[in-house]
Amino acid sequence: MKKNYDVESKTGSGWFYSKIVKDHFLRPRNFLDKNKEKNYKADGVGYVGSPSCGDVMCMWIKVDKKKDIIKDVKWRTFGCGSALSSTSMLSVMAKGIKIDNALKITPNDIIKKLGGLPARKYHCSVLGDKALRSAINDYFKRTRQLNRIVEESARVIDPITKTTDKDIENAVKEGAKTLNDLQKRYKVGIGNPIVIPEVEQLLRFYREKYYGKDN
């Protein structure tokens, strides 16, 4: 299989990759080759990211409509090795489970399964998470299950403060650069520290989306 991505060449503190990450990079699961895409009859398709931001993810799902189970997952990622490994792992996690359970998969779940990712690469799992929900939402639209569509702007990150991913995105667009900036605005994670890793992932993702990877 021809790979359309590069392995990060930087080494040293903060750039350690687990054996699981390396395995999913070298042997990606459920990858859909572009030449086979037109013959893959998907029930839902998700597309997130932008070439200008670095990573683009496409995800296709097939659904057992009677059991409401994702019976197959395919994907293609153009980006770094972490993006590839994250999407590969996510495809394994989502395949064979109920749609409602697939929607509950978080970036933290993906990272834990991978045995961790460098902090600067956490945004890769956020992209995969969004690609899966996009594919599921597309399936809901095709099958007229409009009441089940998950609106991205309404996804609650911190149940205590009711902070959503849209809140974090808006804060970044208005100049927030650090977790402290977000906590001053929303108190996100202060009373519920378990959500802080995901908050930081979203902060990095939106910073890179709007201001580039070097900001």
**pLDDT tens digits, 135-192:** 999 999 999 999 999 876 667 888 888 888 888 988 898 899 999 999 998 889 998 8
Does residue 77 register a pLDDT over 90? no
Q: What is the mean pLDDT of residues 51-65?
A: 80
pLDDT score recorded for residue 118: 75
Global model pTM greater than 0.85: no
Residue numbers annotated as active site: 53, 124
Higher pLDDT, 22 or 17: 22
What percent of the chain lies above the pLDDT cut of 90? 48
Find the helix or strand (DSSP H, E) in which 98 lies: none
Do 155-215 and 17-150 have the same topology in CATH?
no
Does residue 80 register a pLDDT over 90? no
Q: Cα angle at 85 between 104 and 32, to 5 degrees?
A: 90
Q: Cα angle at 111 between 109 and 112, to 5 degrees?
A: 65
Tens digits of per-residue pLDDT, 129-145? 888 999 999 999 999 99
Model confidence band, residue 14 (pLDDT cutoffs 50, 70, 90): very low
The CATH architecture assigned to 17-150 reads Alpha-Beta Complex (3.90)
Of 22-26, 59-63, 129-133, 152-156, which one has max mean pLDDT? 59-63
Q: Which CATH fold would you assign to the domain 155-215?
A: Arc Repressor Mutant, subunit A (1.10.10)
pLDDT score recorded for residue 40: 94
Model confidence band, residue 215 (pLDDT cutoffs 50, 70, 90): low
Name the residue ranges covered by the structural domains of the chain. Answer: 17-150, 155-215
Q: What does the CA dihedral 185, 186, 189, 195 come to, rounded to 10 degrees?
A: -110
